[in-house]
Chains A and B, each alone.
Chain A
Amino acid sequence: MAAGRGNTTQEYLKNGLMDPACEIKPKNGHINGKNKNGLNGKNGAHEQQSEWQDDFHESFEETPLLVAILTYLGYALLVVIGQIRDLMRAYGIEKDKSCTEPKLEGFVPLFLSWESFYTRNLYRRVRDCWNRPVASCAGVRLDVMERTSPDFGWNFQLTGKKLDVMNFGSYNYLGFAESSGPCASAVHDVVQKYGVGVCASRQEMGYMDIHKELDDLVAEYLGVEAAMTVPMGFATNSLNMPALVSKGSLILSDELNHASLILGSRLTGAVIRTFKHNDMADLEKKLREAVCEGQPRTHRPWKKILIVVEGVYSMEGSIVRLPEVVRLKKKYKAYIYLDEAHSVGAMGPHGRGVVDYFGLDPSSIDILMGTFTKSFGSAGGYIGGSKRLINHLKVHAHSFIYSSAMSPPVAQQVISSMRIIMGKDGTQEGMRRIRQLAWNTRYFRKRLHDRGYIIYGNKDSPVVPLLLYMPSKVAMFSRETLRRGMATVVVGFPATPLIETRARFCLSASHTKEMLDKALKIIDDVGDMLRLRYSSLPPPDFSEKGIQLIE
């Protein structure tokens, strides 16, 4: 056990954004009774907490009881009203405006009645909060096309007006979603040279020199032996996981993993077990049990055990307790599949994701996966790891045989932005963005905590969920913030547990301090109107002061 620890303490400029002069803060008690985060990594055998845990601050405040009751009542009321209205529709008193499935004689209905009930009576009321059409680049500001609904959410009409608002909804962490600048001009040249199409899979004459360049650059960026790239982030998981494990193997998956990981795991044919979100004690228990018990019924040993975790969880804003996962992996000889969709670029002193954030050696993670959609302002995903792994994937992965290779301009956008982040363009621009994002994150999170909102997640996670709880507040929050000039994302059931509906802000390096202040002002206005200051805990003790910005 102690040997496993050794690796995590090496090169301890962890969270290297911090000024060395800044003293390490005492661990504060903002970890609440809900225990969503396990036992804060304690595992009895160690008297002293290792260093990373001292600076690992995550908060998940429990839902106040009254709020929980009221929220459930709210849903109950919606269901009752929905049933009454369905009855009225059936009598013909209320006109049915939804596009319902026509009854075809002899055919089994295509949809379940409950599912359509939810869509018809609940989702329809708040439909305008999602799928808002945009008429510009999803950069730091965006033009949302105004819509009106003459019939309360059944149909929408564009008014033709464009609302120029601040963007707190897109995953534009490093601000590379730009329609001009060095990346765009490099992409411009590539379109002229390569066109936009490939029309073939990599193994069937779809492998181009630009793909090779991208693969090599990604490997260098991640600090691994080799890497491969796929044109869709979702497909990177769902099409490559089946090449890694199969029947007779075990996948231990965090309960809050993304849909693509769940689908990918399901396609492998392996046994899937979930562990509590970021709960290392639970993970260890399940690992131990798995190795000792073997496969169900036959008790044969597992072929492989794969731990599937994400770097930053996009709905919770939490960061994986990676050093602990690595320790467990070594102890139980499992493999780690780390999905860095939201963390690559956005985390760590060099923007190399959570591995960089914790100061770990990239080779201690078996499979490093991530996407280009977020921090790089492009599309697609990668897998990095040992040469042996990548060779195997290149030969056996579905994505190299049956699906198209990446479009050249998309590849070029990644190459250009990645080179800037690595400082290969000879400027400090990449570092400036990384620092700015880290600063913005702490600044914004701290202010929100101070104001008494319930905020989930890690202090360094650029995904900031603010809890709204009640379904009516979801719609109101989204509409009111948009009206005041701020585009936010709200998420509810089924993406979150029924009562934990929330608003989510995604911070970006392009946000200036003025924008953040303005956003806070808007949140305050709307928050007071909706009475969102639910928190009863003292605000946590961290600040943005230690982060040095580059001008």
Chain B
Amino acid sequence: MAVIPATWDMYDLIQGVLQAPWYHMVFEVALVLLIMKIYYSQSFSPEKTVLTEKEKETLIEEWVPEPLAPDVPDDHPILTAMEKYCIEGQNGKYVKVNGKSCINLATFNFLSMVGKKEIEDVALKALKVYGVGSCGPRGFYGTMDVHIQLEEDLAKFMDCEEAILYSYGFATIASAIPAYSKRGDIVYVDENVGFAVQKGLTASRSHIRWFRHNDMEHLESLLIEQSKLDKKNPKKAKVTRRFIVAEGLYLNSGDICPLPKLVELKWKYKVRIFLEETMSFGVLGATGKGVTEHFEISPDHIDLISCSLETAFGSTGGFCCGKKFIIDHQRLSGLGYCFSASQPPMLASAAIQALKMLQEKPYLLVDLRENSEKFHVKLKNISEVDVIGDPISPIKHLVLAEPAGDPGLDMRTLEMVVDMAMNESVALTVSRYLEPEEHLPKGPSIRLSVNCELTQDEIDRSVEVIQRSFQTVLEKLTTRSSDVSPLESVQQEKKSEVASR
């Protein structure tokens, strides 16, 4: 058998034929003949209930489908909140809402790239050359030189062989996962991953094994369990790919994944790691490369890193990076890459400039970290709330220290706090989830995003406003609750607020 090299695709097939005993061949031929006989013989079909045309017409007549969409009134709280906080002009460090300029603690503008003159100039220059849209997918004349440049710059920045650009942040990880993980493969996923990852998993149709958030022991126990199963069925194990999917910095909880342990488990149990770095890219690490740099782990240990350009970079789109043989696969298999128009060239140019600025001004990252820590310390002092998240994380979740137990009610309390703070010129947002679609129920929280350019004075002022808002709202609720139920009092409160506006 030495004449046929083992790396050739046909090796197994040829070897199988050569090694089969003669009676096996006879059996196979007999089997094929039998199948053909069955295929061509009259099929047996049990009697089916056949409806007459008239009965069919009646059935069609009688069927009443559900309405296409449930009735959502115009004054649904989310719709009113959206309309109420419609931003006039730029969505930068300050936003103008209802004619009032507010400090923006709601959007992921961590490095304050939105509204930077340098970026705008570059974008305008690109506009003069390329127009706005690219009018085609990457394959069909939608690959502009700026896309190639951005991919090269990002790969170089991330110390990876190659990067692939997507035109939308959500589509990046949601397309990347199903490009590799197929039906029958196994994916180990942190329970707290974001929605885009969850959708990517659904699209992949792989087996999903959830492990408790950042609980490496749980993950390891799942891996051990699987390796026991593998021993029982080594043939299946040989073709079942395994992946771990985790986020660098978790959007839903503001904490960082234990990457060193993940990498250790990867090599121990031969599982590939996909990292979702939407929140950590341009945030963590000395130069902003994300969680790998934060833990000083070489990106070579990670099979795929997926980042968004819509957070710290203030543009639109996302990218994946890693080894060339892995990334190139997406150029033919990434759905959101192949079948979507490419990113508008002017937004690619804006991202190129944002990357340049990040490299030229590493102090932005230092400022961001300091601001995050300052916020963390100060928010901890507010007795009405618990702060969830890592001190250095620019994302912080504020939850009620004494929740009422009813998520709906807590949510309304938090919405009132947001309203209150907005009145005092601090823009906040509650975190919105599509509860029935999420893997785990998410508790109500106010999600704070820190901007690197906030001054000490602005931080002090906003924390003060947050504290005052919480105190006032909770005070009102407790005093009212003696004669009215809390729920009603909140509703009344909201109504009167709307009326006063």
Q: Do A and B come from one complex?
A: yes
Question: Measured between alpha carbons, how far is A291 from B314 in the docked complex, in Å?
Answer: 49
With A136-B129, A407-B315 as known contacts, state yes or no: A207 contacts B87, CB within 8 Å.
yes
A130–B7 CA distance with the chains assembled, in angstroms: 30
Q: Mark A41-83, 1 if CB is under 8 A from B, else 0.
A: 0000000000000000000000000000000000000000001
Question: Interface code A376-411, partner B: CB below 8 Å = 1, 0 otherwise?
Answer: 111100000011110111111011011110110110
Q: Report the minimal beta-carbon distance from B255 to chain A, rounded to whole angstroms.
A: 19
Q: A residues within 8 A CB of B336?
A: 232, 234-235
Contact assessment for A267 and B65 in the assembled complex, using a CB-CB cutoff below 8 Å: no
> How far does the Cβ of A28 sit from chain B's closest Cβ, in whole Å?
32
A-B contact count (CB 8 A): 384
Which residue from A145, A266, A410 sits with its C-beta under 8 Å from B145?
A145
Q: Using a CB-CB cutoff of 8 Å, which residues 99-138 of chain A contact chain B?
A: 99-102, 104, 106-111, 113-114, 117, 119, 123, 130-138
Contact A489 B140 (CB under 8 A): yes
A445 on the interface (CB 8 Å rule)?
Answer: no
Across the interface, B68 reaches (CB within 8 A) one of A178, A197, A304, A394, namely A304
User: Are B429 and A205 neighbours in the complex by a CB distance under 8 Å?
Assistant: yes
Contacts of B67 in A (CB 8 A): 388
Are B129 and A179 in contact, with the CB atoms below 8 A? yes
Q: Are A90 and B66 in contact (CB under 8 A)?
A: no
Write out the residue numbers on chain A whose beta carbons fall within 8 Å of the beta carbon of B141: 132, 134, 138, 142, 144, 167, 169-170, 487, 489
Shortest C-beta distance, B490 to chain A (Å), equals 19
A191-B120, A403-B170 given; A134·B145 CB < 8 A? yes
B238 located at the interface, meaning its Cβ lies under 8 Å from any Cβ of chain A in the complex = yes
B101 interface hit (Cβ, 8 Å): no
Q: Which residue of B lies closest to A183 (CB)?
A: B132
Task: Find out whether the CB atom of A188 lies under 8 angstroms from the CB atom of B139.
Answer: no
Segment of A332-340, A354-362, A454-462, A523-531 in the binding face: A332-340
Whether B70 is near chain A, meaning CB under 8 Å from some CB there, is: yes
Task: Say yes or no: B114 contacts A378, CB within 8 Å.
Answer: no
Once A139-B131, A195-B314, A212-B86 are accepted as A-B contacts, the answer to whether A133 and B168 lie under 8 Å apart by CB is: no
Closest A residue to B345 by CB, please name it. A137
A135-B145, A395-B76 known; A197+B310 contact, CB < 8 A? yes
- Report whether B127 and A409 are in contact in the complex, using a CB–CB cutoff of 8 Å: yes
List residues of B whose CB falls within 8 A of some A CB.
5-10, 51, 56, 59-60, 63-74, 76, 78-79, 81-83, 85-92, 95, 104, 106-109, 113-116, 119-120, 123-124, 127-136, 138-145, 148, 167-171, 174, 180, 194-196, 199, 202-203, 237-242, 270, 272, 310-311, 313-316, 324-326, 328-329, 331-332, 335-336, 338-341, 343-344, 346-347, 350, 427, 429-434, 437, 447
29 residue pairs of the A-B complex, CB under 8 angstroms, read: A133-B145, A134-B145, A138-B134, A193-B90, A194-B115, A195-B92, A195-B114, A196-B123, A197-B314, A197-B316, A205-B107, A208-B91, A209-B89, A234-B340, A234-B341, A263-B203, A291-B60, A333-B60, A371-B341, A373-B341, A377-B131, A378-B344, A394-B72, A395-B79, A398-B199, A403-B169, A407-B316, A409-B127, A410-B347
Give the 6 A-B CB pairs with smallest separation, nearest first.
A197-B314, A392-B69, A90-B5, A205-B106, A232-B168, A234-B340
**Which of A's residues lie within 8 Å of B, judged by CB?**
83, 86-87, 90-91, 99-102, 104, 106-111, 113-114, 117, 119, 123, 130-139, 142, 144-145, 167, 169-172, 176-180, 183-184, 187-188, 191-209, 212, 231-235, 238-239, 242, 244, 258-260, 263, 266-267, 288, 291-292, 301-305, 331-335, 366-367, 371-374, 376-379, 386-389, 391-396, 398-399, 401-404, 406-407, 409-410, 413, 487, 489
